[in-house]
Structure 1
Amino acid sequence: MIRILGFVLFVLALAAGFAWLADRPGELSVIWQGQRADMSLMVAATLVVSLIAAVMFSWWLVRVIWTSPHSIQRYFRARKRDRGYQALSTGLIAAGAGDAVGARKMLTRTKGLLSADQEPLIHLLEAQAAMIEGRYDDARKKFELMADDPETRELGLRGLYLEARRLGANEAARQYAERAAEKAPQLAWATEAALEYRSQAGDWDEALKLLGDGRTASPEEKKAHARRKAVLLAARAAAKLDADPKGAREDAHQALKLDENFVPAGLVEARAYLREDNLRKAASILEKLWKATAHGDVARLYVRARSGDSATDRLKRAEKLEALRPNNAEALYAVAEAALEARDFPRARAKAEAAARLSPRESAFLLLADIEDAETGDQGRIRHWMNQALKAPRDPAWTADGVTAPEWRAVSPVTGRLDAFEWRTPVSTLEGPVEEGSADAVDEAIRTLPPLAIAVKPVPRAETAVVVETEKPVVVAAVPEPVQATATVQEKPKTETAAQETEPPFYGLPDDPGVKDGTGAKRDGTSGFRLF
């Protein structure tokens, strides 16, 4: 477009010049070698322009003839290069689709049209073709050559990293990732991998150094960067809590600045203050976290913040938590547990039942069983609550990749992923230390689980209880009788006995009411046993 505009301006300028000469006529005489030539000024200008045009055309013609061999050679070279790039593109597509034959065919054609020194992607195509064909050693050699070339260093290191991960050579994979992150910090995969490896090794200082400040990132990336930094700071704080409580407190405080509701960081900071006998600041941090999250670990640490407190003091602290978050299952459970330790059984039972109604879970029913055991010792009711605990959902826990941990960790023990642990209801629990490959063990254990047993309720039958009195232990036999065509419904008495008033208030009657004395007397005063 610019050339066209320039050409048009040149023509207009030339026309304007001729028009100017036409408005100002004149004569021009030239005497050369005794000859005199007379002409008008317009003719002379025309001759000059024509002469210049002829010279330019002659120069162009001579140049075209002189450079024609090179132009022809360049044309055929460009055509060959285009065919080579077309074959290279087709080969990469075939390699990505898993077509080993097509990739190898296009590789041969590309090598005949292009030079590997001219186009480094030929090494990539050759490595991909070797991997598809199962020649991993050849592919690794190609990736090593690419890693030595400055143009393809990052591509070769990524290939070597993935190959090392495939072979399970974690140390080699770590070295490749560290090298790539050092040479090219902008590579997300290298930074991520190096960060995970440093976190697995517990090298939190180097991990934080590698993470950087993240100032040039987008808003979403800045948010993710702040979360990762908070996780690393909390992990470093937890690691130095015993040896350096002050340093741990500072790291945890920095983590809370990045994420004010990050429970692990708040717990570490509170524990650090407790190590320094600063109960007031520790309680302030825990109360702030409790208002925001109502986390079970926060409640446990808050109630037992001071080891010298009596059971009554712990109950008062639990009641303060309940006042901060009323009608909360965790608060009710904390009050019930503290009330049980204080031997306040009515309050413990009321709070535990309320917690079980709000959030039916295993620990609530186990607590009710403990309350029943401590207050009445009724084995039937204890077994009833134990049965409800078996049916109830499990308690929330720190879970990552199907594995639960008693405390929060920064890295998953199965996959090594950073910030993998979440506070939620676990799927399964692995006891003992988690070894490499535990995820496969979990999957295998789930696959080999026996099928669910479906309980079928038997058809009701009338029974006659027979009591045999001997010196040996009582033997009870149930003699079934055919069901009668007519049945008599006995009306329930209006007055309830004291024993009936103490039945569990929900989830049905106990599965096993138990026996309180050795006479075989029933709750309603009649003799004999009723098994069904």
Structure 2
Amino acid sequence: MIRILSFAVVVLALAAGFAWLADRPGELSLIWQGQRIEMSLMVAATLLASLIAIILIAIWIVRVVWLSPHSISRYFRARKRDRGYQALSTGLIAAGAGDAALARKMTARTRGLISADQEPLIHLLEAQTALIEGKNDDARKKFELMADDPETRELGLRGLYLEAKRLGANEAARQYAERAADKAPHLPWATLATLDYRSQSGHWDEAIKLLDQSRASHVIERHEADRKKAVLLTARAKDKLESDPKGARDDALAALKLSENLIPAGLIAAKALFREDNLRKGASILEKLWKHEPQAEIAKLYVRARSGDSAVDRLKRASKLEAIRPNNAVSLAAVAESALEARELSLARSKAEAAARIQPTEGIFLLLADIEEADTGDDGRIRHWMNQALKSPRDPAWTAEGMTSPEWLPVSPVSGRLDAFEWKMPVAQIAGPVEEHAEETANAAIRSLPPVSAKQQPESVRRTPETIVKVETVKEEPITRTIAVPAPSESVLVPETVVVGTTTVTTSEPKSEKPKAMPRRPEDEDAAPAEPFFGRPPDDPGVREVPSAEKTNFRLF
């Protein structure tokens, strides 16, 4: 555009000059070697302009003829280079697609058209071709050549790092990553890999220093950098907790400032504060974490914050946690456990059963088994809860890449990745509709318990007993018939099982006296079956005495 405007300006200037001369006519006379030459001023200007144009054209023709060999060679060289770059592009695409034959063919063609000194991408094409052909040693040599060239250093180190990771040479991979991070700190892969390796070796100070440098160079986003630094500070505080509680407290509090919901940092900070007898601040940190996400570790540390507290005091602290997060399975389980230690068995049972209805897990059923052992000592009921625990999903735990740990770890033992552990249900138990039928499963487990005996059953749950007969036929489809017979109010239910041939009879009779069987009436056929206190008997009712057949004189059919 500028050249066109410049040409137009020159043409207009010439036209304006000739027009100006035309408006001012004159004569020009020239005497040269005794001859007089006269012409008008317009003719003289035209001849002068023509002479200049002829000279310029002649110079251009001479220049073109003189430089024609070089121009011809440059043309063919550019054409060859273009063909080489086309082959290089095709080869890289073929290598990326996994076409080893075409990649090797394009590599040879590129070598013949372009010099490797002029185009470093030829080394990359050769290395990628060697990789897809399975020639890993040749590919590694190419990457080493690229790592020695300042122009392709980062690309070569990246290739060597990936090859070392593939072969499992973690030490070599660490060295390549650190070398790349030193030469080019702006590379995210080198920075993150070096950060993970330093974290695996426990060099927390060096890892934090590298993370600060990466954040200053905007390699890692601010939110991600704050999270990783909080994890590193928590890991360093964990190592300092036994030897330097004050330093551990400072690091943990600094981690909480960067990530306020980092539970491991809050736990370490609370432990350090409790050792300094600063119970109020430590409890405040735990309460804040509890509001965000209730966890069993938080409850355990909060309840046992003061070592000299009695079981009743720990129950009060657990009740305070329940008040902060009511209707929560973890809160109810914490209260139930503390109530069991305080021998408040009725409260422990009610809270544990409520927790089981909300979230039936292995831990809550094991707690119910402990409560049952302390309350009734009934082996059948205890085995029932243990059986429910075996069939229930596991409790949430610190999980990273399919592996669980009893405590939080800053680095995954599987891949070495920083901040990999999460508090969640193990992967093996996630599959399946666990949460959808949680309440139904817990209610069914609770209803399936048999009634407790007179000595074991609390007064608050005793009912007026009735005689119940349950008949099941083994050979054919089960037939269940229930006959309710009133019994004296002072009697207490005692479940019994009678085996007669292929028929099982389950009875519940008053212990004090045995009522005589009443004849079966027609209206009893349609009567609703009377269920025991918790519904049906458990899967394992325990060891019972088998009474003689004379105790029941019922006509089965």
- The verdict on a shared fold, with TM-score over 0.5 as the criterion, is yes
CA distance in 2 between partners of 1:59 and 1:521 (Å): 134
The answer for the alignment partner of 2:540 in structure 1 is: 512
1:199 partner SS: helix
Contact 1:165/1:173 (8 A) holds in 2? yes
CA distance in 1 between partners of 2:107 and 2:47 (Å): 62
The answer for the alignment partner of 1:65 in structure 2 is: 65
TM-aligned CA deviation for residue 184 of structure 1: 1.1
1:281 partner SS: helix
CA distance in 2 between partners of 1:319 and 1:198 (Å): 43
Contact 1:397/1:426 (8 A) holds in 2? yes
CA distance in 2 between partners of 1:412 and 1:18 (Å): 88
1:479 aligned to 2:479?
no
TM-aligned CA deviation for residue 46 of structure 1: 2.4
Amino acid at match of 1:479: G
The answer for the alignment partner of 1:447 in structure 2 is: none
TM-aligned CA deviation for residue 521 of structure 1: 9.2
CA distance in 1 between partners of 2:162 and 2:363 (Å): 44
Contact 1:403/1:428 (8 A) holds in 2? no
Could you report, residue by residue, the CA deviation over 1:445-480 in whole angstroms, capped at 9, with x for unpaired residues?
xxxxxxxxxxxx9954579xxxxxxxxxxx996621
The answer for the alignment partner of 1:164 in structure 2 is: 164
Contact 2:198/2:207 (8 A) holds in 1? yes
CA distance in 2 between partners of 1:202 and 1:459 (Å): 68
TM-aligned CA deviation for residue 87 of structure 1: 1.3
Contact 1:520/1:527 (8 A) holds in 2? no
1:151 partner SS: coil
The answer for the alignment partner of 1:88 in structure 2 is: 88
Q: Bigger radius of gyration, 1 or 2?
A: 2
Could you report, residue by residue, the CA deviation over 1:250-308 in whole angstroms, capped at 9, with x for unpaired residues?
22222212211111111111112112221111001111111112222211211111222
From the superposition, tell whether residues 305 and 205 of structure 1 become closer, same or farther in structure 2 (CA, over 3 Å). same
| Mapping 1:366-381, distance limit 5 Å | 366-381=366-381
Amino acid at match of 1:331: S
The answer for the alignment partner of 2:47 in structure 1 is: 47
The answer for the alignment partner of 1:11 in structure 2 is: 11
From the superposition, tell whether residues 74 and 165 of structure 1 become closer, same or farther in structure 2 (CA, over 3 Å). same
Contact 1:462/1:480 (8 A) holds in 2? no
From the superposition, tell whether residues 458 and 422 of structure 1 become closer, same or farther in structure 2 (CA, over 3 Å). farther
Contact 1:402/1:426 (8 A) holds in 2? yes
The answer for the alignment partner of 1:440 in structure 2 is: none
Amino acid at match of 2:40: S
TM-aligned CA deviation for residue 376 of structure 1: 0.8
2:37 partner SS: strand
CA distance in 2 between partners of 1:244 and 1:34 (Å): 116
1:118 aligned to 2:118?
yes
CA distance in 1 between partners of 2:64 and 2:123 (Å): 39
Could you report, residue by residue, the CA deviation over 1:37-67 in whole angstroms, capped at 9, with x for unpaired residues?
3333333332332222222222222221121
CA distance in 2 between partners of 1:46 and 1:305 (Å): 109
CA distance in 2 between partners of 1:256 and 1:459 (Å): 67
Structure of higher RCO (CA pairs closer than 8 Å, 6+ residues apart): 2
Amino acid at match of 1:378: D
| Mapping 1:308-457, distance limit 5 Å | 308-428=308-428
From the superposition, tell whether residues 16 and 298 of structure 1 become closer, same or farther in structure 2 (CA, over 3 Å). farther
CA distance in 1 between partners of 2:105 and 2:387 (Å): 68
- Percent identical among aligned pairs is 69
Q: What TM-score comes out, normalization by structure 1 length?
A: 0.83
CA distance in 1 between partners of 2:498 and 2:54 (Å): 131
The answer for the alignment partner of 2:461 in structure 1 is: none
The answer for the alignment partner of 1:451 in structure 2 is: none
The answer for the alignment partner of 1:265 in structure 2 is: 265
The answer for the alignment partner of 1:450 in structure 2 is: none
Contact 2:147/2:155 (8 A) holds in 1? yes
CA distance in 2 between partners of 1:493 and 1:398 (Å): 47
CA distance in 2 between partners of 1:61 and 1:413 (Å): 77
1:253 partner SS: helix
Moved more, 415-424 or 92-101: 92-101
CA distance in 1 between partners of 2:32 and 2:329 (Å): 118
Could you report, residue by residue, the CA deviation over 1:313-365 in whole angstroms, capped at 9, with x for unpaired residues?
11111111111111111111111110000000111111111111111111111
CA distance in 2 between partners of 1:462 and 1:227 (Å): 63
2:501 partner SS: strand
From the superposition, tell whether residues 30 and 399 of structure 1 become closer, same or farther in structure 2 (CA, over 3 Å). same
The answer for the alignment partner of 1:448 in structure 2 is: none
From the superposition, tell whether residues 160 and 53 of structure 1 become closer, same or farther in structure 2 (CA, over 3 Å). same
CA distance in 2 between partners of 1:479 and 1:65 (Å): 123
Unaligned runs of at least 5 residues, structure 2? 430-473, 481-496, 505-520
The answer for the alignment partner of 1:305 in structure 2 is: 305
CA distance in 1 between partners of 2:311 and 2:331 (Å): 16
Contact 1:154/1:184 (8 A) holds in 2? yes
CA distance in 2 between partners of 1:481 and 1:178 (Å): 77
CA distance in 1 between partners of 2:231 and 2:408 (Å): 10
Contact 2:362/2:393 (8 A) holds in 1? yes
From the superposition, tell whether residues 197 and 514 of structure 1 become closer, same or farther in structure 2 (CA, over 3 Å). same
TM-aligned CA deviation for residue 526 of structure 1: 5.3
Contact 1:397/1:405 (8 A) holds in 2? yes
1:160 partner SS: helix
Amino acid at match of 1:139: A
The answer for the alignment partner of 1:152 in structure 2 is: 152
TM-aligned CA deviation for residue 26 of structure 1: 3.4
Contact 2:21/2:41 (8 A) holds in 1? yes
| Mapping 1:232-311, distance limit 5 Å | 232-311=232-311
2:36 partner SS: strand
2:152 partner SS: helix
CA distance in 1 between partners of 2:122 and 2:2 (Å): 39
